[in-house]
A and B are shown apart, each in its own frame.
Chain A
Amino acid sequence: MELVHESKPALLRELRLGDWGYALVWLLGCLYTLDKFGAGMNVYSKGILCAASLGFIALGWFWKPFRLMCVITAVLSLFAIYEYHGQIASAEQELWLKYLLGSQTAIMWMSFLFVLATLIYWVALLGRSEFAGKFASVLTWCAVVMGLVGMLTRWYVSYLMGPDIGHIPISNLYEVFILFSFMTALFYLYYEDRYESYQMGAFVLLVIAAAIGFLLWYTFDRHANGIEPLVPALQSYWMKIHVPANFVGYGSFSLSAMLGVAYLLKSKGILADRLPDLVMLDDVMYKSIAIGFLFFTIATILGALWAAQAWGGYWSWDPKETWALIVWLNYAAWLHMRLVKGVRGPILAWWSIGGLMVTTFAFLGVNMFLSGLHSYGKL
């Protein structure tokens, strides 16, 4: 007796030629970097580079549009770096850099595109236009690419200022706001792609637009966009993983709070016929908090490891640490309510909005009102 059945398509069997090509490009890039700059990197930096490459390969395999974004970002960034010709002043002289790809210019483009995308998502929502939704989605993708290009060239430019000054651009409030913007946008784009729904964008992009508003104020009013050398406490490879992991958390929590707003509006009958299903909003809200919680936990633990190395103790009850704990407890309770108690509906939506308040305080409020060891991002 022979049973006819095509056995399970394993992950590897689902991969197409493009996936392998994508992975190859990453690996070659990684190897080239190790070969060319390996002498200047310590073992941790090398480890982070390799792990990040593998991580991004996996991410591209898991979510296909990510591959194209990586490739376009790489091409544009490398072109921008080439155009710098090893001189900071090129940003003002080379046309490409001055109007499109220079570090500051690219970040301005990102800001503009995010604000534009926000408006068009609202047009799409109110006018029930799928075309506008798709257009806004493309704009958001472009904004993410510009943000990444801006950050990568900024990283390069910091080394042009001096080999001892160069560092990854996630060390102050200006830089992490850019990180926050494109990270949140990427998460949103993932859910948009998976659920094939453009309506959530109108809400999620609002929080990004708010971040952009802050970024612009910070740039033009406070002139905080300069590259500053790292103080001794920040000169550590831990920064490369602690900060991004934290912003996965912050981004996801913000996203879920904005979906909470949409959920509440819909359940009160406002925009009810234009917004997606409550079940779907609830589902995305949960997923977003779950991934955020996982990464926030990892980030806090990484922070503790770093603190043990820099401050002499893994936990000092520094205000930032304490507020991170409060944020963690808040979402731990949220998840308990949902998973163990089976609570659903407006309570969780309200709670996730409240969670954003707590998160915002932990992110910004602590820097503004409380002093402590963590005062890297003073306002």
Chain B
Amino acid sequence: MRFAISLLLVLAIASIIGTVLKQNEPYPNYLFEFGTYWFDMFRTLGLFDVYHSLWFLVILLFLVISTSFCIIRLSPIMLKEMKSYRERSTLSSLRHFRFRQELVTSLAPEQSVRLMDKVLAGYGYKSRTQIRKTGQLLAAKRGSWNRLGYILTHSAIVIICIGGLIDGNIPLKVDQFLGYKRIETRDMPESQVPSVSRLGSNNLSFRGDVTIPEGSSADVIFLNVANGYLVQELPFIVSVKKFIVKYYSTGQPRLFASDLVIQDKKTGKSKSVRLEVNHPLTMDGVDIYQASFGDGGSHLHFLVWPLTGASTLTTPLDGIVKHHEPMTINGHPYAIEFDDFRKFNVEDLSQGVVKAPSSFMQNILSVFSPAAHKDQELRNVGPSVQFKIRNAQGEAREYLNYMLPITLGGHSYFLTGMRDNPGASYQYIRLPLDDNGNVNSFMQLRAHLDDPSAANGIASRFAKKALAGIPNMQAMKPKLAQISESVLALFRQGGYNALAGFISKDVPQNEQENAAQTYLKVLQGTALEALNEVIPPGTPIKDKASFVRDSLNAMNDSFLYGPPVYLQLQSFKPVMATGLQMTRAPGKYLVYFGSLCLVLGIFAMFYIRERRVFVYASSDGKVLFAMSSSRQTLDFELEFKKLSNIISKAFADNKEL
């Protein structure tokens, strides 16, 4: 038993590792977090999937074996004890009981024993009588089922573990170990996966996932194993008609459901069903669950705006989520990979920034777990699209664009986020919109400022207007125009950084701060002039000064944005995909049966108390009443007192017969 308890403790500690270290993440994530040395170490120890590692299963197996031995060894003894009345107890041994009482009666021994038999029977005791030379012994017991508790609880642990081991893919582990099955790590169409990585539909137990777009079907699922997967064939074909999300009035999701048609491969019969979270479906012994959702290839239509040069000429672009499109930007070839589209984005705007929408994995969590925090300002900010732009060298940047204007601090913007590695958070550029919610004004202004041939004209007009009405400053006009033009040229080349570089190089240190202020004012004034020149009459922009500031910020940020294009999402046709989890777990019936045994056993162990009562009536009229229990608690003391009073009273009431 000590061995078993030590194993239990090792199991508990091993389990802790699995909760602290995130399990079953993609290997690169671990590599990134721990470095090569620890990654190799952890992988060798199987810490990325503790609960299925060989050593964990071996401990479980040992636990099963050791507990089984315990049961085999102790059960016969327990059963014997259960049946036994211990009627061989001698008078001298009874005299050593801690709880005993001696009485004197005028009744004959057989009468005393009969009286006691009746009294004790009234309290649920069963008894045996034995006739001795010097009198009679009544041996009674109650609560023998207590011992069954031991057998039940320990068997339960064995049964549950066996059930768990059956469902824990032991046969697959063996096949893998012997080389009959191999994990596939390559990314390829399902039909090309070789048979060594495929499992037949007669597989005893499995648990895997598949994502099926609306209007498509699947007859396999994927089992994630270590850093790859296996293909599990199904005895039926699942077709997805529609994926449904419904929301509460508060914006939280209320329902995730899929309308499916399932066709049995053998009989060819098909049936239509609706699958919901918490309402799984069983088909040919396979349980089907609504587990997640995502995009299943939505059709997207974009307008591509240039972010450099004097042109505002847009080109249309069509894309499908999970597909990629070639594209030429400024003469260089690129590929645009459309990763994800989300129709609704409930975001917390209380911090003034938008967080990245959740990945597919997090969508799974949003099916399973609760909505966000209470003290947040949750708002649906409308559709978003996530895509990558990859250059000819294979380097990619990831973008996140929101379709609808987002109001921050009283002004409307188009938000576009960029990041250059998947682990980073998005850096957002805010493209200011005019009061019609149009990005055209900003684009016109940007093109005008980016046009070197227009700079001279803007600068001189700016200088003229700035100095108009100040008679003694008219001589400054050419000087101001020159400053304006060169500030604009610097900004065009490298944004605020270029300006700062120029100031720190060419301006004496003690004047730098003043110069920076002045240059910024000139830049903003020049840009305001440019704005007034390009925007078509009638375009409402209430706060031109802040529009210009926002525009300059956006232009400045676009230097780090990557390929200089902005993809404005114009329209879409959503196609959802549903994420189904399918399991076959025959071990569960064993586990449930074991659980029932466990509860009954624990109940029997704690709440059925074994008590034994012995009454020895000697021929000389002395009666010895003794009581024992496997567990001597306070309650037992009270019970002894109560029972001994009852017995005294019974003898007192029956002095003569």
Query: Which residues of A line the B interface, CB within 8 A?
Result: 1-5, 7-8, 162, 164-165, 172, 222-224, 226, 228-229, 231-236, 279-280, 283, 286, 290-291, 293-294, 297-298, 301, 304-305, 308-315, 317, 319, 322-323, 325-326, 329-330, 332-333, 336, 339-340, 366, 370-376, 378
Contact = CB atoms under 8 A, between A and B. Distances in A.
Contacts of A297: 598-599, 602
B275 to A, nearest CB: 12
A128 B369 CA distance: 50
A336 B5 contact: yes
B100 to A, nearest CB: 20
Contact of B634 (A1, A283, A290, A366): A283
A2 B654 CA distance: 9
6 contacts: A232-B367, A301-B599, A308-B588, A311-B368, A313-B207, A323-B19
A161 B249 CA distance: 10
B331 to A, nearest CB: 46
A235 B246 CA distance: 14
Contacts of A323: 19
A8 B368 contact: no
Contacts of A336: 1, 5
Query: How extensive is the interface on chain B, given as a class?
Result: 35 or more
B111 A1 contact: yes
Contacts of A222: 374-375
A312 B583 contact: yes
B368 A5 contact: no
A1 B656 CA distance: 10
Contact of B18 (A4, A293, A322, A375): A322
Interface in B206-248: 207, 248
B276 interface: yes
B278 A376 contact: no
Contact of B606 (A226, A294, A308, A311): A294
B520 interface: no
Interface stretch (B253-261, B298-306, B473-481, B539-547): B253-261
B248 A164 contact: yes
A235 B602 CA distance: 30
Interface stretch (B83-91, B119-127, B462-470, B556-564): B119-127
A282 to B, nearest CB: 9
A202 B599 CA distance: 33
A234 B278 CA distance: 8
Interface string B397-436: 0000000000000000000000000000000000000000
Given A3-B115, A294-B606, 13 more contacts: A1-B111, A2-B657, A7-B118, A224-B374, A228-B374, A294-B599, A297-B598, A301-B595, A312-B289, A313-B207, A313-B583, A373-B365, A374-B369
Contact of B254 (A1, A164, A298, A305): A164
A294 B604 CA distance: 10
Contact of B207 (A231, A312, A325, A376): A312
A325 B599 CA distance: 15
B602 A283 contact: no
Given A310-B277, A322-B19, A329-B11, A233 B367 contact: yes
Contacts of A312: 207, 280, 287, 289, 291, 581-583
B592 A305 contact: yes
A317 B16 CA distance: 10
B631 A315 contact: no
A230 to B, nearest CB: 8
Given A232-B254, A311-B289, A333 B111 contact: no
A5 B122 CA distance: 10
A6 B455 CA distance: 115
B16 A233 contact: no
Contact of A326 (B12, B373, B374, B581): B12
B51 interface: yes
